[in-house]
Amino acid sequence: MARGWAVLFFLAAEVGAFADDSLVSIGDAKYLAGPGAGGKIAYLRYPTLGCPSIVQAGSTGTVWIKLNGATASTFLLDITPNSKTGPAYALSVLGSTYDASTGITKVAYEVGSNVPEDTYDLHLSVPALAVSDLQYNCFKVVKEESADFRFIVIADTHFNTPTGFWLPGNHNPGGYDAYSIIEQMKKEIRALRPTFVLLIGDLMFGLNYDTEYETVWGIWKDAGFPIFMIPGNHDGYASIKDRWLLGLHSPKRDGLDYWRNYFGPCAYSFEFGGVHFQGVNTMDGTPERRDGFLIVIENYGGDLGPEQMDWISADLAGVNGPVVPFLHHNPMGEYRANKTFSMSGWVLSRILEFLTTGNLNEFVQEWNTQATGEFLLAKYAGRPLVFVGHKHIDDLKIHNGTTYKYVTTAGAGAFPGKKDYWGYAYVTVQNSQVVEHLYTSDPKFQSVPTGNLHVRSVDGEGAEQSAKITSGLSKSYGITVEFVMPSAPAYVAANGFVVQFAPIDAERTRVWVRTASPVAPSIHEPQSLTVTLKTAEAAVGGSVETPVAPPSGGGGCGAIGLEALLILGLLYFFSSSFRKRGSVRRL
Ligand SMILES: [Fe+2]
């Protein structure tokens, strides 16, 4: 991938002038130093479910492996489509280097030019050590790295967060709850087929990390699109010691260690299409700063520790082109200084604030240490667009010419009365510049509302198959439909373009067809389009029978306000409810 010479030199020095995948830098030393205790990350340290790799077919990349002190010279790598609809492809291993200071072995590989564009699981085998490992959904192969691409941003998916249960489901026809809306969103994003997705924190609630991390991992491991994740406050709460209150147990824990063990590094950067993406962990700082009793916490606003600040500076120093940061909290504040947590102090201060001011504004916080917020604002001055979440509503705030774009919640809610709804931001990049990121011109309605886009197979497994695309959206979006067809010399599509096909075996072939969703006058008047695919004896130019219009591109979740008032009273309910619902989202 085209990136700065400094980065090329950095990688070349370590694995020998091969690595050309999307990773630029990992800014989480604790992740690289850690042994991997429980969770889902063992030997494979990059790519991971939450820090995937994008590689061009026929090009090269690097896998990072930690063998816990052992070394080896022979590594076997293969990738299998995450959808399980295609065969495995072996990666050609080019060489490896071992870094004694970190214990990381970096293995360079080449992806075959015949590997179709898709999202894959990565399997590692080290025969000499009888070691094998698997990371789901962590490997994206593209046919070509282009400066024109699209990506999607989702925020505050918030598995099992109470506000998700009272959201009325506005901007969709109804029928969804906080669980099914996430499954629906996954289907829509598969159909939209962005190059990648950014998931900018608050994936869960924070009551019981043992079950929540396990369940949320299960939700995303079969996504079918690569997801660059960074943590939010609800993912990184800590408890510096065991505490008991009214029979409730808040065990000693650190949510960021769970993150490292399930998803990967908390901060990192990558590059695609000439754009540098910097993922920052704004729930940073010591466990003492993040200390609390379950989800009752003093400091849930953003902050940065000194190590991450050093990494942010170093990571940006080598970049000359466009930078798109993605983080959970907006460094513009409101600022509220960190306080030392005590349960009685937390309760008393909330009561006192409410009695004296009639509101809980002091409790609402976006950023804690003002100096670290201003550090980040200075680093991002002049960058056109920064993605943030946390507030659960769409919004735009501008500071020093930089737009801080809030993305609405994907699965929770905000204050009643706010313009919250379930959705995701669809972003179009042309010539390495973001040219479109708004669904409508209303600053409170910028995201694509989930629940209005459906792709259904209409008939057959034979030589002619159809898929029906139904949309209640007011814009047209590019849609990709995958068919499994009988093997044939060629394929012809009606109402779409055949963009690639790849054999599964001697009898079956995967065929991808690109089309454009129809435009609907309202979500209550969805429009449909049927794409039909046939086998053919020979390829025809463009394989298009009917031309289609080109796609047109495109309250704080930290237990803010009402949620805060409910927390204590609901702790019993949700702790028991959580145990009941923990497996609901399993697929
Ligand atoms: Fe948040």
CATH number at residue 563: 3.60.21.10
Per-residue pLDDT at 127: 94
Kind and range of the H or E run holding 495: none
Q: What is the rounded CA–CA span in Å between residue 550 and residue 515?
A: 8
Per-residue pLDDT at 540: 60
Tokens 């990648």 identify what position?
Answer: 196
Is 536 found in the same domain as 472? yes
19: confidence class by pLDDT, cuts 50, 70, 90: low
Average pLDDT value for residue range 244-254: 93
Q: Is residue 340 part of a domain?
A: no
Q: Is residue 53 part of a domain?
A: yes
Is 312 found in the same domain as 283? yes
Average pLDDT value for residue range 394-400: 95
Residue 414 clears pLDDT 80, i.e. is over it: no
Average pLDDT value for residue range 143-158: 96
Residue 106 maps to which CATH number? Answer: 2.60.40
End residue of a domain, out of 120, 142, 164: 142
In the chain, the number of structural domains is: 3
Q: What are phi and psi of 140, to 5 degrees?
A: -110, 130
Average pLDDT value for residue range 360-382: 89
Q: What is the rounded CA–CA span in Å between residue 560 and residue 241?
A: 25
Tens of pLDDT, residue by residue over 160-170, are 888 777 766 67
Is 303 found in the same domain as 191? yes
CA of 190 to the centre of ligand 1 (A): 26
- Least-confidence region, from 185-194, 331-340, 379-388, 409-418: 409-418
Q: Is residue 446 part of a domain?
A: no
Average pLDDT value for residue range 236-259: 95
CA of 294 to the centre of ligand 1 (A): 15
Per-residue pLDDT at 568: 38
CA of 560 to the centre of ligand 1 (A): 9
Q: Is residue 345 part of a domain?
A: no
CA of 161 to the centre of ligand 1 (A): 11
Is 379 found in the same domain as 315? yes
Q: Given the DSSP bridges, would you call strands 196-199 and 149-154 parallel, antiparallel or unpaired? A: parallel
Q: What are phi and psi of 404, to 5 degrees?
A: -95, 110
CA of 258 to the centre of ligand 1 (A): 17
Per-residue pLDDT at 282: 98
CA of 220 to the centre of ligand 1 (A): 19
CA of 580 to the centre of ligand 1 (A): 24
Per-residue pLDDT at 539: 64
- Least-confidence region, from 164-178, 419-433, 492-506, 542-556: 542-556
CA of 238 to the centre of ligand 1 (A): 15
More confident residue, 361 or 181: 181
Per-residue pLDDT at 411: 92
363: confidence class by pLDDT, cuts 50, 70, 90: low
Average of per-residue pLDDT values in the chain: 87
Tens of pLDDT, residue by residue over 542-567, are 444 333 333 333 333 333 333 333 34
Per-residue pLDDT at 509: 96
CA of 174 to the centre of ligand 1 (A): 25
Q: What is the rounded CA–CA span in Å between residue 525 and residue 141?
A: 37
pTM: 0.90
CA of 122 to the centre of ligand 1 (A): 31
Average pLDDT value for residue range 201-219: 97
Is 115 found in the same domain as 166? no
Average pLDDT value for residue range 3-29: 59
CA of 155 to the centre of ligand 1 (A): 9
Average pLDDT value for residue range 150-162: 94
CA of 452 to the centre of ligand 1 (A): 26
Residue 331 clears pLDDT 60, i.e. is over it: yes
**What tokens appear for 83 in the block?**
């959808």
358: confidence class by pLDDT, cuts 50, 70, 90: confident
Per-residue pLDDT at 570: 38
Q: What is the rounded CA–CA span in Å between residue 489 and residue 158?
A: 47
Q: Is residue 70 part of a domain?
A: yes
Is 47 found in the same domain as 113? yes
Residue 254 clears pLDDT 50, i.e. is over it: yes
Residue 13 clears pLDDT 50, i.e. is over it: no
Q: Does residue 156 come out as left (phi exceeding 0), alpha (psi in the -120 to 50 range) or beta?
A: left
Is 371 found in the same domain as 249? yes
CA of 56 to the centre of ligand 1 (A): 34
Q: Are 485 and 465 in contact (CB under 8 A)?
A: yes
Tens of pLDDT, residue by residue over 453-487, are 999 987 767 999 999 999 999 999 999 999 999 99
334: confidence class by pLDDT, cuts 50, 70, 90: confident
Per-residue pLDDT at 169: 64
Is 37 found in the same domain as 9? yes
Per-residue pLDDT at 348: 83
Average pLDDT value for residue range 93-111: 93
Is 191 found in the same domain as 281? yes
Q: Is residue 349 part of a domain?
A: no
Q: What is the rounded CA–CA span in Å between residue 402 and residue 582?
A: 40
User: Sheet holding 23-26: strands in order across?
Assistant: 23-26, 268-272, 275-279, 323-326, 385-388, 402-406, 395-399
Is 161 found in the same domain as 121? no
- Least-confidence region, from 147-161, 225-239, 573-587: 573-587
More confident residue, 218 or 68: 218
Residue 586 clears pLDDT 90, i.e. is over it: no
Residue 94 clears pLDDT 50, i.e. is over it: yes
587: confidence class by pLDDT, cuts 50, 70, 90: very low
Average pLDDT value for residue range 191-205: 98
CA of 234 to the centre of ligand 1 (A): 6
Q: Residue 512: give the domain boundaries.
A: 453-543
**What tokens appear for 546 in the block?**
């009917």
Q: Is residue 587 part of a domain?
A: no
CA of 200 to the centre of ligand 1 (A): 9
Q: Given the DSSP bridges, would you call strands 490-494 and 453-459 parallel, antiparallel or unpaired? A: unpaired
What DSSP line would sit under 252-263, residue for residue? SEEHHHHHHHHT
At 24 the three-state DSSP class reads strand
Is 385 found in the same domain as 425? yes
CA of 156 to the centre of ligand 1 (A): 7
Per-residue pLDDT at 557: 37
Q: Is residue 166 part of a domain?
A: yes
Is 181 found in the same domain as 58? no
